[in-house]
Amino acid sequence: MITSRAIKTLIFIFLLVMGGIVGSHSQSILNKYITLDIRSGSTPTILSAIEAQTDVSFSYSNKVCILDFIELSTNRNTIVGFLNEIFATCPVEFIEKKKKIIILPLSPASPKVYVISGFVKNIENGEILLGSSVYDALTWEGTTTNNFGFYSLSLAAGEVILNCSFVGYQPGQKVLELTSDTTINFNLLYNTQLNEVPIIGNIAKEGINTTRTGTITVPVEQIQKFPSFLGEVDVIKTLQLLPGINSGNEGVGGLFVRGGSIDQNLYLLDDVPVYNISHLFGFFSVFNADALNNISVTKGGFPARYGGRLSSVVDIRMKDGNSTKLNGTVSIGMMSSKLALDGPLFKNKTTFSLSVRRSYFDVFAMPIQAQRNTRTAFYFYDANAKITHKLSDKSKLYMSFYGGLDKFYSRYNYNQVRNPNQPNDGKEMLKVNDQGYSGWGNVVGSLRWNRIYNEKLFSNISVAFSNYNYFVGYEEHSITPDLWNYFEQEYRSGIRDLMAKVNYDYFLNPSHHIRFGASYTNHTFNPGFDILRRTQNTTTVLDSTFGGNNVYGHEMFLYLEDDFQLSQRLKVNVGLHTSLYHTKNKTYNSVQPRLSARFLLTPTIAIKAAYSKMTQYMHLLGSSSVSLPTDLWIPVTDNIKPQHADQYATGLKWQFSQGFDLSVEGYIKKYDNLLISVYNRSVINNEDSEELTYGTGYSKGIEFLLHKKIGDLTGWIGYSLSKSRQQFNRINEGKEFPSSNDRVHSVGIFSNYRFNDKVDLGLTWSFGTGNTVTLPSQKFFVPNLPTQGNETNRAYSEYIGQINNYRMPVFHRMDVGVNFKKKNKLGERTWSIGLYNTYGHQNAFSVYFANEVNESTGEVTRQLKQLSIFPVPLPYIRYTLKF
């Protein structure tokens, strides 16, 4: 951006050069001696007297000093001598152009500017603190750290009071005399018990100063204090308590953000997308809190660097590992056990973090069912690993990995058969059984390279993969005295991505933080294939695969954004995200402008506004409001169009004391090219089937969040009022209807009170209007003859008049948990106990119609019933040891 000072400088240089050219051809008239008739007077008077004695004229800026009285030392002097006396108290520059002398004020010498850069970390474990605020308390010029904890700030030479702050941490401060480019690293101490500071000048600026709207960061330390379901601390369930986000059904771990659907959320684990985030059909998420460093969710005002989804970005970062000592956590709960380790591999060079978790329901369930012919069980596990290697002071390498699996199985028809692989007189017997099974899993990994080119330019280059796989199958054994046949059929489907990204941060000056980059993703969608295996007397006679025609897509995007300050009050983020998707015979492209702004009413009150256009190149076809592994991901193809959304948001943020703020935000979202199955099925035969239809939608609402981040009592109160609607020409007679996740009122409360260093109490309470469901409005009995029996035995059909024509009962639930901590010789142990659904409210998981027959009269009545999967309080207990 060209400033007025720069324009004046260019004009000055231009005139100076032109004056020099003229002067090279003739003697300067400034050195000509003249005699004046006067020796005193005002500036204009004396200049007019000089003009009367010469053939020159003066032109001067109104910014030069014009004095009412000047006393000259002599009445004979050169023109330049007189001018020097006239403007002795006001430095000016004389430019001679032919017979005109131009007088311009001399710009004061610009102070030297130096760059302060560095990293912000947790002092206890060396983990980076992304999104930290770093600013000069004297000039209020500042910036924030990027996703790798790096910051760069250009400041004028001289005294600097550099402050650094991050939510829940004690702020840091460095006072210095800036005389050269300097590296300053901050190491902050986590302390939620930090006393509140009422002085406005000391309030941390990370919440007020940013231009982003609809973005909330929740510290992992706070998440770990949440009351949990069966003792499993869950990142996603924590986010469900924030305004604008709901879970759909009771106990389910999916996210519906501002009226959007499940597939419209982008989950990034160390910059790699994860397609299915559910363990145990959504009752837990795949994100193990012990492996995580930072979690943020963006609901609106999307920066240009994000793309590919319409509703939200959940950005999750894994721990790098402690750089000084080995740390560990062992945790045993009712559902699963966990082990986490992190520390240095090579001193001052390489760190690692490792976390594994496994449930053990199957370990206990199978022995209990040992006497049954049918035995059912399930299990899940996951593992996170990360290695960080310091190549140099300006270069780092990161390797991240996640792998997880869920499997449900039912075993039956237990038999013993003679082992055919033994001598004829052998008596060895084998135990065999039939079984049905299903499961799903994710594997993601990335290799990233960070480099600091100089104090202002930072880069992150990465290659990554993501693989999601779903399977279902069964095995059968056919056993006769002379024959043992085996048959297995398995169905598999999934998505595999291979990615390459490059991102740059350029800290031009305190007023401009520029980001730009590019990404390429190779998508492979597997709509499903069957595997058949058959053996006869242990000899393989068939092993075949049917189907498996993969669908390929190539997705690319470029982005450029600038977060810049127009004035001390007004800050703007302007960006452009352009994407391209190429499928078999067609290429789609999208230009997505992004704009957000912040205006400071006072140092602690800011008004924010944003606009975002988003495009998504895949759809998820589901058969219910619950995210299931059987739901089908449909990519954009020659016949299936991408979906789009436009979102407008505006709000106010008031940070009225240290770590205590109130935000109010309203939004409007409009959707286009929403895809749905006419018959509400998650499986279709082909992409251009008549089963598919497109539609539009919109959602709007207002959200309130009161957040207290430090002190003995921490937590938040959130409320949202919203409306979400959809419309399809081939659904609901083309009439508008509420979306399945439409929830008018929603309240989420979390609080944690620290009694002392040993005991803290956590409480959550959630309330919401019931979700919408589709129920039949009429029932028609099939005509029959009187001789065919009474009416209760007659067949009937149900008529559905409108989509989502019924709203489930109001939802509310309270969870309570207490943590008891104690130091011991191994480290710190914690007993966590609590109650899920503390007062036992029977929230509806689903509703349905059922017939009730009066046994005495035979009268049949039709009643609406509900299914509650957690109708009573569920206690939990977990033991955790940190060392």
- Three state DSSP letters for 144-165: ECCCCCEEEEEEECEEEEEEEE
Give CA 92 to chain center in angstroms.
55
Cα distance between residue 856 and residue 606, in whole Å: 70
For residues 102-111, average pLDDT: 74
The 3-class secondary structure across 391-449, one letter per residue, is EECCEEEEEEEEEEEEEEEEEEEEEEEECCCCCCCCCCEEEEEEEEEEEEEEEEEEEEE
Contact 293, 317 (CB under 8 A): yes
- 784 has a pLDDT exceeding 70: no
Q: Which of 98, 101, 91 is nearest to 57 (CA)?
A: 101
**Helix, strand or coil, per DSSP, at residue 6:** helix
Amino acid symbol at 500: A
- CA geometry: angle 614, 619, 624, nearest 5 deg: 120
pLDDT at 537: 64
Contact 707, 697 (CB under 8 A): no
The 3-class secondary structure across 80-108, one letter per residue, is HHHHHHHCCCCCEEEEEECCEEEEEECCC
Cα distance between residue 854 and residue 792, in whole Å: 11
What is the maximal distance between C-alpha atoms in the chain? 141
Lowest-pLDDT range of 218-222, 329-333, 711-715: 218-222
Cα distance between residue 94 and residue 103, in whole Å: 5
Cα distance between residue 758 and residue 325, in whole Å: 24
pLDDT tens digits along 789-811:
554 455 566 767 788 888 889 99
Contact 53, 34 (CB under 8 A): yes
**Structure tokens of 62?**
């109104």
Q: Which of 31, 37, 39 is nearest to 53 (CA)?
A: 37
Cα distance between residue 199 and residue 180, in whole Å: 32
**Helix, strand or coil, per DSSP, at residue 854:** coil
Q: Is 227 exposed, middle or buried (0-12, 13-18, 19+ CB in 10 A)?
A: buried
- 197 has a pLDDT exceeding 50: no
Mean pLDDT for all residues in the chain: 84
Highest mean pLDDT among 57-71, 642-656, 674-688: 642-656
For residues 728-756, average pLDDT: 91
pLDDT at 39: 87
User: What's the helix, strand, coil split of the chain in %, to 5?
Assistant: 10, 55, 35
* Residues with Cβ within 8 Å of residue 136, at least 6 apart in sequence: 142, 153, 155, 160, 161, 162, 163
**φ, ψ at 46 (rounded to 5°):** -70, -40
- 16 has a pLDDT exceeding 50: no
Q: Which of 835, 872, 842, 880 is nearest to 229 (CA)?
A: 835
pLDDT at 201: 41
Contact 366, 374 (CB under 8 A): no
Rounded to the nearest 10 degrees, the angle between the axes of helix 43-53 and helix 79-86 is 180
**φ, ψ at 859 (rounded to 5°):** -70, 135
**Structure tokens of 814?**
């309270």
Binned at pLDDT 50, 70 and 90, residue 845 comes out as: confident
Distances in Å between the Cα of 268 and the Cα atoms of 33, 320, 462, 865 are 78, 16, 14, 39
* Residues with Cβ within 8 Å of residue 567, at least 6 apart in sequence: none
pLDDT at 156: 87
**Structure tokens of 70?**
């000047």
pLDDT tens digits along 130-170:
888 888 888 778 888 888 889 998 888 888 999 888 877 88
Q: Which of 309, 870, 370 is nearest to 614 (CA)?
A: 309
**Structure tokens of 83?**
């001018």
Cα distance between residue 737 and residue 804, in whole Å: 7
Distances in Å between the Cα of 857 and the Cα atoms of 285, 343, 793, 860, 862 are 50, 74, 15, 9, 15
Distances in Å between the Cα of 68 and the Cα atoms of 42, 71, 82, 760 are 4, 11, 16, 75
Residue 516's CB is within 10 A of a number of other CB atoms, namely 18
**Structure tokens of 151?**
């910051």
Percent pLDDT > 90 in the chain is 42
pLDDT at 756: 92
pLDDT at 305: 95
Cα distance between residue 81 and residue 45, in whole Å: 16
Residue of 5 and 146 predicted with greater confidence: 146
Residue 314's CB is within 10 A of a number of other CB atoms, namely 24
Strands 811-823 and 860-867: unpaired
pLDDT at 138: 83
Strands (E), 731-784: 737-738, 745-754, 759-768, 772-773, 778-781
For residues 591-597, average pLDDT: 96
pLDDT at 154: 87
Highest mean pLDDT among 381-385, 479-483, 708-712: 381-385
- 338 has a pLDDT exceeding 80: yes
- 302 has a pLDDT exceeding 70: yes
Residue recorded with tokens 């419209």: 264
Mark residue 827 as left, alpha or beta (left: phi above 0; alpha: psi -120 to 50; beta: remaining): left
- Predicted model pTM: 0.82
Contact 215, 705 (CB under 8 A): no
For residues 675-695, average pLDDT: 68
Contact 574, 602 (CB under 8 A): no
Cα distance between residue 232 and residue 332, in whole Å: 10
pLDDT at 407: 93
Binned at pLDDT 50, 70 and 90, residue 498 comes out as: very high
Give CA 87 to chain center in angstroms.
60
**Structure tokens of 188?**
């902050």
Cα distance between residue 662 and residue 672, in whole Å: 33
Task: Find residue 183's DSSP bridge partners.
Answer: 117
End-to-end CA distance of the chain: 53
Cα distance between residue 331 and residue 289, in whole Å: 12
Q: Which of 334, 332, 333, 410 is nearest to 366 (CA)?
A: 410
Cα distance between residue 695 and residue 767, in whole Å: 30
pLDDT at 2: 44
Residue recorded with tokens 């989509």: 803
Contact 171, 204 (CB under 8 A): yes
Residues found in the chain: 883
Lowest-pLDDT range of 57-61, 175-179, 301-305, 784-788: 784-788
pLDDT at 663: 93
* Residues with Cβ within 8 Å of residue 279, at least 6 apart in sequence: 253, 285, 286, 359, 380, 382, 404, 406
Contact 565, 571 (CB under 8 A): yes
Residue 783's CB is within 10 A of a number of other CB atoms, namely 8
**Structure tokens of 603?**
């140092």
For residues 3-20, average pLDDT: 44
* Residues with Cβ within 8 Å of residue 317, at least 6 apart in sequence: 130, 147, 270, 292, 293, 294, 295
pLDDT at 126: 84
Q: Is 4 exposed, middle or buried (0-12, 13-18, 19+ CB in 10 A)?
A: exposed
Cα distance between residue 219 and residue 712, in whole Å: 16
* Residues with Cβ within 8 Å of residue 159, at least 6 apart in sequence: 138, 175, 176, 177, 178
